[in-house]
A = this chain, B = another copy of it.
């Protein structure tokens, strides 16, 4: 059996290694148009930032390793330029020599990836404008930053000489993973960084109110975030810098521009071969990674996958699914019955010591589908027991089915313990858990690691209280009429309060029920929702119409969430 794999990074490399383990006799050719196979593209922004100092650290396995350890004929600088599925042959071009050879195959695996989007804008090709997709991309940026290409900044008014100044200003275009990671890494290199994002939020997969916390955090760490604006053109300035002119009419001068506008599946070869393309523009495959053409498989960033939470087709440019798909294609080629179970959209990004992570469906995605059978809660637990030093607040949004309690998705932000909670919640979503399962989860607890009621348990308890009817909730954004009751202590309201709110501290509530209206809905707030929950229970049993405003004051002023150093006044007995 002769198998050709086109693309030698995550999906292709995984496929090649796995296939050799399953079939010692197969002839395996893996071609990569770039100069490296199996490199760690997730590390590129950190290489630019100097966190990962050596380029060699990014090279996971060389051509030589593939040849020696896996007996794979790995060829870099080699591009597939034509496929004939009927004749089961393809043309490979050696990009160094220009020579074209024709190879036959029994099975073909496409793992061409998804190149960065590079819009057709005036000035897009000016020197100093980069994207970050490959090792050579990162090298070019480092060279640009390091080679001492400094700019003439104009005439010195005393000496009459032109002065030299170092590069100091960066503009990042696009607020996705790469854009944000590059913004951080350029700040680390002492750049003044402006981030321009066309949409009304960064990190499109999460919901806007959560993204706004991230935007505030970026601003706090020195990134100027400009939302709802878009680059119209790039202009070379006299000093050699670039002016970024936006549609709103603003001009941002920059010594370096990094484009992080997302990626687009590379479907050129697939189209040439007549393969079916999906609704999102990726190569359509079944759960065995087979394309519409027998004997041609596709994996990685170029394919569409089913999101098994929403049931929608989606494009996921992440290393984890790419690796798994590569393995599955190899399994199927080797005659095994492996299936890709789809994706659940788990992702994480670290920024300036903070972390944003999410898994499953967000509210935006559910709304887009017209799904109304869900509820959401906000909570702000500590990363570990508040009495042990170093606890940090976590902002969490959790979504679940109203009809059956099934956990649909979670988004979390914070400076400690975010990855742990989203990983546990991802595992629970994978297994079809309900919020009632979350209530009972038995996660690791010692005071430096968590709480006896872990944030995961806490989320389950709050959601289950909502579903069992023990705690009707409302949200700041959708509250209609009624009375707002704040059960915090007066000193807390002195710091921050909603104008016109009624204040009865929780401890006085039982004695002051006659101050509350029985004909209107009462929306109860406190700092994070804990005391408001106690008040809600009390008032419900006293016959009032009452709702807990999910997440309390912290949900109202989320933008300042990370600014809070003080850990919750509320403890859970």
Contact = CB atoms under 8 A, between A and B. Distances in A.
Residue picked from A17, A66, A318, A446, most chain B C-beta under 10 Å: A446
Contacts of A388: 43, 46, 51-52
A433 B341 CA distance: 14
B452 A427 contact: no
B428 A510 contact: no
Contact of A430 (B69, B442, B541): B442
A347 B442 CA distance: 9
Residue picked from A16, A57, A445, A538, most chain B C-beta under 10 Å: A445
A387 B40 contact: yes
Interface string A300-343: 00000000000000000011111110000000000000000101
A449 B350 CA distance: 8
A445 B43 contact: no
Interface in A57-80: 57-58, 60-61, 65-66, 68-71
A54 to B, nearest CB: 9
Contacts of A541: 23-25
B346 A66 contact: no
Contacts of A343: 442
Interface string A32-64: 000000101011001000011000011011000
Contact of A440 (B16, B25, B68, B324): B324
A392 to B, nearest CB: 15
Contacts of A51: 388-389
Interface in A359-398: 359, 385, 387-389
A161 B25 CA distance: 86
A448 B350 contact: yes
A357 interface: yes
A24 B538 contact: yes
Contact of A24 (B346, B431, B537): B537
Nearest to A346: B442
A21 B448 contact: no
A441 interface: yes
A446 B385 contact: no
A450 interface: yes
B437 A534 contact: no
Contacts of A573: 13-14, 16-17, 38, 60-61, 65-66, 70
Nearest to A509: B69
B419 A430 contact: no
A152 interface: no
A446 B348 contact: yes
A154 interface: no
Contacts of A537: 20-22, 24
B420 A419 contact: yes
A10 interface: yes
A323 B534 CA distance: 17
Interface in A524-573: 531, 533-534, 537-538, 541-542, 571-573
A347 B444 contact: yes
A43 B387 contact: yes
A432 interface: yes
A426 B439 CA distance: 13
Interface in A420-461: 420, 422-428, 430-433, 437, 439-450, 452-454, 456-457
A323 B426 contact: no
Contacts of A510: 71
A344 interface: yes
B427 A320 contact: no
A178 to B, nearest CB: 12
A506 interface: yes
A127 interface: no
A349 interface: yes
A294 interface: no
B40 A447 contact: yes
Contacts of A61: 571, 573
Contact of A437 (B430, B437, B450): B430
A42 B346 contact: no
Contacts of A507: 68-69
A6 to B, nearest CB: 16
A315 to B, nearest CB: 15
Contacts of A60: 387, 571-573
11 contacts: A10-B452, A20-B534, A21-B534, A42-B452, A46-B388, A60-B572, A320-B452, A424-B427, A427-B428, A427-B431, A431-B432
Given A70-B534, A427-B427, 9 more contacts: A52-B388, A60-B572, A359-B444, A419-B444, A419-B449, A423-B444, A426-B442, A430-B433, A430-B441
Pick the 7 closest A-B CB pairs, nearest first.
Answer: A431-B431, A68-B507, A319-B452, A348-B444, A24-B541, A61-B573, A420-B420
